[in-house]
Amino acid sequence: MHNDPRADLPLAGVTVVELGDSASAPFAGHILSGLGAEVWKVERPAGDSSRSWGPSQWKGSGAAFHALNRGKRSICLDIKDPVQLATLHDLIERHADVFLHNLRPGSADQYRLDAESLRQRKPELIVSEVGAYGHLGPLNRLPGYDPLMQAFSGIMTLTGEEGQAPVRAGVSIVDFGTGMWATIGTLAALFRRERQQVGATVNSSLLETAIAWMSVGIANYAADGNPGGRHGSGVAFIVPHRAYESADGHTIISAANDRLFARLSEALGHPEWALDSRFATNNARIDNRKALDDLIGQRMRQHTRAYWQQHLDALGLPCASVQTTAELYSHEQTQALGILGKTTADDIALVGMPLSFDRQRPPALATAPYIGQDDARLRQLLQTD
């Protein structure tokens, strides 16, 4: 029997070399590590960009770096130096199952780290390339970041309050989403390799992820030319489905169909709303959104978030308090899930894998490495083969 709790994880035995910076590719590497892969993170001498992100710091690096890079080995290689680049090639060709990167457009070709060059020498290799605008098209050589893609894709035209300036989502949905798509593609390629003994080139990009998040909006536009608009905390196609001001904050309530709206109306003390021709159907409620929102808002302001949560939960009506990070962190449901955990040698509690296998969440990852922490291990590995 073995004592390593990670030995039973699905990707145990898989080796990933990650040349990733900032968020998208490092997040993919983080997921793969959480699933059991051994991830060798290649950092330039200055380190990953997220090491300098603020304002919150932990042990000399931005807290963001710790969120995205736990459980990885760190090796410091300057790929502009031919000898160090050769070391990276040696590691990939002799040990990697997956090479994951988000190099700036053109850089992979410059350093012979493009999929064609690598797979010519190692056909069974899976190369997962995380791009900005995608690997095709007139903009495929441009760099890109999360807010650029939220803008370019139209996400920002649907986010925020009507009549106000465009708003970026408060979390990096495009970066993290792209990391997830890169992971999904990589896992599919590993599965195919098990059956067919062939490698793969996996392409994901920030723009393609952002376009995917616009799937419903694009479907609506394709159907009738409606480009959509901003509805604050609500959505274009369901009413009511938004945050309303309570006595001590805001509470989201949702009535996704006419049956739920009738039950909500009764719970709010106004069963007659469900019989009103302005509100009897979802389409009617969309047409009379402001009038209904005003009526619900007046009622919601009479009690606290906790009151509405308890009252509506008891009736099986979907609702949720708008919580701060601090409230989420300490909430009994968050604690019960066990998703926040300390790393194997650290005091900071971070988010674990948001999934479980056989009812068990994967164990906590090791503390995020310092730059070049595993350089000596790399030298030993390459010398002993």
Average pLDDT over residues 228-257: 94
Q: Which two tokens stand for residue 8?
A: 């039973």
Question: Is the whole model's pTM more than 0.85, yes or no?
Answer: yes
Average pLDDT over residues 310-333: 95
Res. 347: pLDDT tops 80: no
Beta strands in 206-266 (DSSP E): 241-246, 249-254
Res. 256: pLDDT tops 60: yes
Res. 2: pLDDT tops 80: no
Residue 373 amino acid letter: Q
Identify the pLDDT of residue 78: 97
pLDDT tens-digit profile of 45-76?
A: 999 999 999 899 988 899 999 999 999 999 99
pLDDT tens-digit profile of 279-319?
A: 999 999 999 999 999 999 999 999 999 999 999 999 999 99
- CB within 8 A of 192, min separation 6: which ones? 198, 200
pLDDT tens-digit profile of 205-229?
A: 999 999 999 999 999 999 999 998 9
Identify the pLDDT of residue 385: 61
Q: Which two tokens stand for residue 6?
A: 């990670």
Res. 1: pLDDT tops 50: no
Identify the pLDDT of residue 9: 94
Are 173 and 27 within 8 A, CB to CB? no
pLDDT band at 234 (very low <50, low <70, confident <90, very high): very high
Other beta carbons within 10 Å of 321? 20
d(CA 267, CA 332): 26
Identify the pLDDT of residue 282: 97
d(CA 167, CA 242): 17
Q: Concatenate the DSSP letters of all residues of 25-94 into one string.
A: HHHHHHHHHHTT-EEEEEE-TT--GGGG--S-EETTEEHHHHHHHTT-EEEE--TTSHHHHHHHHHHHHH
Res. 5: pLDDT tops 80: no
Check if CATH label 3.30.1540.10 holds for domain 241-321: yes
* Mean pLDDT of the residues in the chain: 94
Q: Concatenate the DSSP letters of all residues of 147-181 into one string.
A: HHHHHHTSGGGSSS-TTS-----SS-HHHHHHHHH
d(CA 29, CA 127): 13
Identify the pLDDT of residue 252: 97
pLDDT band at 3 (very low <50, low <70, confident <90, very high): low
Identify the pLDDT of residue 6: 82
Q: Concatenate the DSSP letters of all residues of 315-338 into one string.
A: TT--EEE---HHHHHH-HHHHHHT
Beta strands in 345-384 (DSSP E): 349-351
Domain boundaries, the chain: 5-213+338-384, 241-321
pLDDT tens-digit profile of 20-45?
A: 999 999 999 999 999 999 999 999 99
Q: Do domains 5-213+338-384 and 241-321 have the same CATH topology?
A: no
CATH top-level class of 5-213+338-384 = alpha beta
Are 6 and 359 within 8 A, CB to CB? no
Identify the pLDDT of residue 362: 92
